[in-house]
Amino acid sequence: MSNSINGKICIITGANSGIGKATALGLAKLGAKVVMLCRNKTRGEEAQNEIITKSGNKSIDLLLADLSSQSSIRQFVSEFEKKYDKLDVLINNAGVNPSKRYETIDGIEKAFAINTLAPFLLTNLLLPILKNSVHARIINVASAMQNKSINFENLQFKKHFRSWKAYSQSKTALIVITYEFARRLSGTGVTSNCLHPGAVKSNITRDYKGIIKFFTKLFFCFAKSPKKGAETSIYLASSQDVEKISGKYFIAKKEEKSKDITYNTDIAKSLWDVCADLTNISVEEVGFINST
């Protein structure tokens, strides 16, 4: 595999734990300038020190943001823009699988807010600076857990909340948005792809309790390590083989087909409009809110 990541600036969200930390370490070892987006200073600094020590790469920056808060995402982007004049790779890795229905400070169901809306908002706000790079890459860590449809009437599970359904709908929506970014960014040099990392031992089910926690733990006994789980993210960020590939879904470094619904452009347009509405982004900020 030929790699083109040396000296490139890469943001990784949720870089203090699991797949995100392993991705940050892998890219640091390849010589990337890594910007870790983490929500907790102590956990972020611990991971930052570990990555510097293990990789010998000192270009590991830590910027704090809570992805459940849209104002925190906006503050992160303005801090990033003060320090950096371009961005080569954005890995929207952070994700949650809440066991109950929680609402964020913005009044949005937590899985949808963090797994779908945060990547949508962060990516849109960073687009101008991504376009400053000759070839920039947006990489969204999705999941094989995808729903056959997106229920626009109950997008935020105000009725009948089911943890895994809310999670898989938020990840289905993330794939739809990934493909829509690819269409809207066609010809700009910015690519947009997504991936399923496989079943990986991590903290993703930390919220679970009782019998569900027991069975989930049992299932994850057979899961792969975060290092293995990070391989496709690292491949999509660094390999020249995929420099011009856009609008695709990967598993184990190979293009795969996601659920049929994710390719539906009418659904994509509706979802894009809902996301734009819920995040209050304007055409002036990003240039193409309703261009398709």
Ligand X SMILES: NC(=O)c1ccc[n+]([C@@H]2O[C@H](COP(=O)([O-])OP(=O)(O)OC[C@H]3O[C@@H](n4cnc5c(N)ncnc54)[C@H](OP(=O)(O)O)[C@@H]3O)[C@@H](O)[C@H]2O)c1
Q: Is 172 in the site for ligand X (CB under 6 A)?
A: no
Both tokens of 179, joined, read: 């493909």
Residue selected from 62, 96, 111, 166 as contacting ligand X according to rule CB under 6 A: 96
Give me the sign of the Cα torsion angle 196, 200, 204, 210: positive
Both tokens of 161, joined, read: 């909340």
Query: Strand runs (DSSP E) across the chain, as ranges?
Result: 9-13, 33-38, 60-64, 89-92, 136-141, 190-196, 249-251, 254-256
Residues 85, 129 contacting (CB under 8 angstroms): yes
Q: Is 122 in the site for ligand X (CB under 6 A)?
A: no
Is 167 considered catalytic here? yes
Q: Is 98 in the site for ligand X (CB under 6 A)?
A: no
Residue selected from 34, 62, 66, 155 as contacting ligand X according to rule CB under 6 A: 66
Residue selected from 108, 204, 237, 278 as contacting ligand X according to rule CB under 6 A: 204
Q: Which is nearer to ligand X, 87 or 204 (CB)?
A: 204
User: Interacting stretch for ligand X, rule CB under 6 A, among 87-95, 126-134, 152-160, 268-276?
Assistant: 87-95
Query: Within a 10 A sphere around the Cβ of 236, how many other Cβ atoms?
Result: 26
Q: Is 71 in the site for ligand X (CB under 6 A)?
A: no
Paired strand residues for 140: 92, 194
User: Interacting stretch for ligand X, rule CB under 6 A, among 35-43, 152-160, 182-190, 256-264?
Assistant: 35-43
Residue selected from 111, 200, 237, 286 as contacting ligand X according to rule CB under 6 A: 200
Nearest alpha-carbon partner for 253 in 233, 276, 223: 233
Q: What angle do CA 233, 236, 238 make, to 5 degrees?
A: 105
User: Interacting stretch for ligand X, rule CB under 6 A, among 62-70, 77-85, 183-191, 252-260?
Assistant: 62-70
Q: What angle do CA 22, 23, 28 make, to 5 degrees?
A: 100
Q: Is 25 in the site for ligand X (CB under 6 A)?
A: no
Q: Is 67 in the site for ligand X (CB under 6 A)?
A: yes
Which amino acids are annotated catalytic?
Answer: 167
**Interaction site with ligand X (CB under 6 A):** 14, 16-20, 39-40, 43, 66-68, 93-96, 114, 141, 143, 196-197, 199-200, 202-204, 223
